[in-house]
Structure 1
Amino acid sequence: MKIIIINGPNLNLLGKREPEIYGDETFEDFYFLLKKKYNTIELQYFQSNIEGEIISKLQETGFTYDGIILNAAAYTHTSIGIGDAVKAISTPVIEVHISNTFSRESFRHQSYISPNAKGVIIGFGLKSYELALKAFL
């Protein structure tokens, strides 16, 4: 099974950025443990702060991978382009968010990804990624 995690803007700052919301663990540390725990899965990781790079990665992997775990971060609420890319590909996408976006500012309640995602996992911290991975299994 081949799965990729695609993270959007500012998620490269996990462990430093707003630890009261996002925790104090870096994504790289979490990803290392996830790969170790699910070592029979070909798990890859991509992060970009640039919308077009995220769209390109969705298009690149969206016809050959078994699953995509996507945390588009702030682009979730603003990017019609990322939403359209999710709709255009055949690989199923699970949208994840570390925080409960519905307990935050009202602009975070809108997602351009959700209507085209296989499912949405919100608010379980970094565990959201593992829950998405288990959903693909």
Structure 2
Amino acid sequence: MGGRTNGGGKLKTRRSFPERPAEKRFFPLPNELFILDLNPGEIAVYAYLMFCEDRDTYQCWPSYQTIGQRTGMSPNTVRKYVHTLEAKRLIDTEKTTVRGSDGKTKNGVLLYTIRPIQEAVDYKMEQDLARADQARGLI
């Protein structure tokens, strides 16, 4: 009657997942993110990077293609948003290299470092103040 049964004839109402600590099942998004004038694409890319990050090193290394698959964007769109997140001082990127089985060095994926959110907030406030001063003719 509307449910599935498992081998013992019991009604199976939900999936059974191994129990993990709460900090492993969720990832935090800082509240300040919503005062930085980010568009939905930037928020999606930033959120995915936060999902992937190592909480000890604040780093992760997903490819543009992986980020795009997980957020529903093309790799070129992801690249654009990564650049804007860098400009807004939310992340840093670093090129990596890998050594192939033939011994040749090739370009790897980017290493992303999530910066402290307060740096991005401070930068935005400085930019807003500079624009306000410029509008009033003080600069």
| TM-score above 0.5 | no
Structure ID, larger Rg: 2
Please identify which structure carries the higher strand content: 1
| TM-score after normalising by structure 2 | 0.29
| TM-score after normalising by structure 1 | 0.29
User: Which is bigger in relative contact order (C-alpha 8 A, separation at least 6)?
Assistant: 1
